[in-house]
Amino acid sequence: MAAAYITGAEVFFRMTGAYILYETAKYAVILFSLFGIFFYGFRYNAVSYLIYILVLFPGVLVSLENIGYDVNFRIAVLFNLSGPLTLGAISLYCYGRSIKFKDFLEVLDMLVMPLIATTVYIFIYAPNLRELVTGTASNAALSGGYGPNQVATVLGLGAFILYSRFFIPYKNKLVHLVMLFFMVLMAYRALVTFSRGGVLVAGVMMVVFSVVLYFSTGIRTKVKMSFKLFTLVFIGVAVWSLALLQTGGMIGNRYENKDALGREKEDVTTGRAELFKTEFETFEENAFFGIGVGNVKFEFEDELGQAVASHNEISRMLSEHGFFGIIALLILIFVPLLSKLSGRNNIYFYPFMVFWFLTIAHSSMRIAAPAFIYGLALLNIEYKEKKQPTVHKKISK
């Protein structure tokens, strides 16, 4: 619960300057996971994630050799490894563990509550969109004064969770309607950040969840679900139309990869393809050990003339960790898939894995959400309450 709350609140706390340390949320999730492991242990088959954590450290030694132990080294290692270590810690705790469906939904609610606060704050921060829309680039002014990429990512995640709760309704009808209202608000504000990644990922998650749910239910439920899907499609069209109206059509240009004047842009990836190419070439030149944790930033400076952080965790792992990065990625992809094939029950498994993979592919691991959501995907959900054994008292004569 605590890890879910701090994950949901991370972007809100960053945009309001509430954190002492920038990576507080990741450190907190690691700490809560370690508490859980200390008190409840971890399953023996979760040792794969222990191996995952260990294969990250050769890259640290390479970085130490290249940079030397100073402030730059500590910053580079902490910034680039805080996300992977968060993922390793939460995975160690969650893998092989079971949770009641009711409790799982409460965890999702705890994640969503801070996202509702984030949405309200953004509306207060920037109520009038038309005054702030000046082009088709990602807009921090429309994102609560913070990074549009990260804001769109968490609001998209929140919109998806509430989308799923439209099919798995709250018991209280008033709460159900209020949450549906906030789903619409989150989707709208995620859209008008002009950051496409988080919105598109949320859309893919919704499609995947709908398909999984549709094919795992009976005919009567399928009919009800079809009506709900029609309602949600109508809401989606209304949200898109409102965004077009409020942005003067700019949001349409953004998703068509056009500038404010309607001219086609050359690079649909906004520079990410060039970064990926540089990282892959670096991996080819340093295939075994990589160039060391945090060094890809300096590689960008040498090759592209700009010292920027990686936007793709997959290519970063390859360039900075080399062969060990491949091992780490194979563990992260195949361990949960094999677990799912062995009979683990989790209706959110596929959409959550989609969120993790697509988010780290366009936004790296700048926030704790991809790691935490990956951990939730590893849980086995118990949908039926276990019946307590009936105790028969022996009547003495």
Q: List C-alpha distances in Å: 253 to 58, 235, 246, 250, 260.
A: 45, 21, 13, 5, 7
Q: How far is CA 366 from the centre of its chain?
A: 10
Among 313, 374, 328, 312, which residue's Cα sits nearest to residue 56? Answer: 328
Residue 100, SS3? strand
pLDDT of residue 98: 93
Which residue bears the tokens 């009800």? 224
3-state percent breakdown (helix, strand, coil) of the chain, nearest 5: 70, 0, 30
Do 311 and 358 touch, CB atoms closer than 8 A? no
pLDDT of residue 386: 60
pLDDT of residue 133: 84
At residue 289, φ and ψ (nearest 5 deg) are -95, -15
Among 84, 43, 36, 85, which residue's Cα sits nearest to residue 380? Answer: 43
pLDDT, tens only, 16-59: 888 778 889 999 999 999 999 999 888 888 899 999 999 999 98
pLDDT of residue 53: 95
pLDDT of residue 350: 96
Which residue bears the tokens 């409460």? 106
d(CA 216, CA 218): 7
d(CA 199, CA 219): 31
Q: What secondary structure does DSSP assign to 17-86, as a single string?
A: T--SSTTHHHHHHHHHHHHHHHHH---GGGHHHHHHHHTTHHHHHHHHHHH-SSHHHHHHHHHHHHHHHH
d(CA 266, CA 225): 41
Q: Is 341 exposed, middle or buried (0-12, 13-18, 19+ CB in 10 A)?
A: exposed
d(CA 19, CA 133): 29
Residues of the chain with confidence (pLDDT) below 70: 67-73, 267, 269-270, 307, 385-397
d(CA 43, CA 46): 5
Structure tokens at 161: 């969770």
Residue type, 340: K
Q: How many CB atoms lie within 10 A of CB 258?
A: 15
Domain boundaries in the chain?
1-382
What is the H or E stretch that residue 112 is in?
helix 101-125
pLDDT of residue 138: 84
pLDDT, tens only, 313-347: 898 899 888 999 999 999 999 999 998 888 889 99
Which residue bears the tokens 């023996």? 44
